[in-house]
Structure formats: structure tokens, C-alpha cells
Amino acid sequence: MVAAARVDLDSLPESEVVVLAQRGDLDARELLAVRYRLPAFRLAMQLLGRPEEAKDVAQDAMLRFFTSLDRFQPERPVLPWLFRIVHNRVRDLQRQRRRRRVDSLDSFLEDTGLEPVSVRPGPEERTQRRQLQRKIWQALGSLSAKHREILVLRDYQDLAYADIAAVLGIPKGTVMSRLHAARRSLRDCLEGFDTPIDPGPGSASRSDR
């Protein structure tokens, strides 16, 4: 099969791009790298809170992504698979370091604009929402790793329950019960704040996908 021209790759279904990449098409591999390196970094950043560590984890995850690409089933969505690699690398790093601080996160989010996808305030309310965002992220940093990661995957990365189960390697029912407990813990952490807190975009407004 002749590799598709680079200009045509963007119009192809993801599964076809993956097949081309598995066959060694360099343009297809580059397209996958461009599409997914930022989501990999954002997830690592949201879980770790340190830019340099998140960058290292994301780069390592992308390397593992491509070295294991031949074992991937093209009909499956790429993002949950990649997020599982990122999650495992974050867990490895956390086991090595045994630290949970996120003190560099606030300034980094301001400098780069990499805000959680669910928090995009307009100009007139940006200052107030940024302050609220800081409080939420500080509260996230105080949660257990299990609670923090499941909130990030559901409420910031917008993954469905089944995909979260695949990323974390747990049953879907465990995802639902753990998410409920995590939101309750987050709400408890924010209880004393003056500004009313929305527990996240994945609460009552979304269905169980």
C-alpha cells in the first residue's frame, strides 16, 4: 500500500492513520505525535503539578506509545491507551519520589494558558475565575493520588467511565464509586471558600457515557 500524502492524513479516520503509522509511514507517525503530545503533557501536568517532571513523563510516554504501536488494535481510540501509559509513568515517578506537592502549578497555568479544559472564563470574569481555579487546584493537590487522578480524567480530560476504567485498570463500577468519593473529598476541602464551587463538568449535567 502506498502511504497517503501528508496533506491527506488530516482527513483520514484515526484508525487509518494508526494503520499507516504501524506500517512505518513517517508522516502518519508525525501526525499522531502532533495530535497527542500536548494531551499527554497536560495530563501529566495535572497529575504531577511540576512542568519539568510533566515534560519528562510526557516525552517518555510518547516514546513508549510509538515503541508499542505495533501491538495496538487500530479500531480502539488512541487517547485512553496513551493516557494509561502516562498514568503508569506518573505512578512510577510518584513511587520513586513519594511527594505530592503542586506549588508550581498555579504560576505555570497562568504563564502558559494550559487551564483545565472545563474552565475557560471570559475576560470580564478572568481574575475571579483564576482565583477560584487556584483554590481548586490547591485542593486537588491535597487529595489522595487515587482521588486526584480520577477527578482529572473525568472532569478535566472528559473521559467516559469506560475509558477511565481502561486507563486505571479498574472496573467501571469502581470508577463510579471512587469518583463520587473524590468529589465529596474535594467539596470538603473547598467547604470554607467564599465562592460557591462547582464540583466539575462531569457532575449532574452529564450522562453516564
**pLDDT digits (tens), the chain, 209 positions:** 444 444 478 888 999 999 999 999 999 999 999 999 999 999 999 888 888 889 999 999 999 999 899 889 998 999 999 999 999 998 888 777 654 333 334 444 444 444 444 445 556 667 777 777 777 777 888 888 889 899 888 888 888 888 899 899 899 889 999 999 998 888 888 775 554 444 444 443 444 55
Q: Which of 183, 99, 178 is nearest to 146 (CA)?
A: 178
Segments in 74-199 forming alpha helices (H):
78-97, 105-112, 126-142, 145-151, 161-168, 172-189
Domain boundaries 14-104, corresponding CATH code? 1.10.1740.10
- Domain-wise residue ranges, the chain: 14-104, 115-209
Q: Do 14-104 and 115-209 fold alike per CATH?
A: no
Q: How far is CA 171 from each of CA 80, 98, 153, 155, 159, rounded to the nearest angstrom?
A: 15, 26, 15, 18, 15
Domain 115-209 has CATH 2.60.40.420: no
Query: For residues 50 and 28, what is the distance between their CA atoms, to the nearest angstrom?
Result: 31
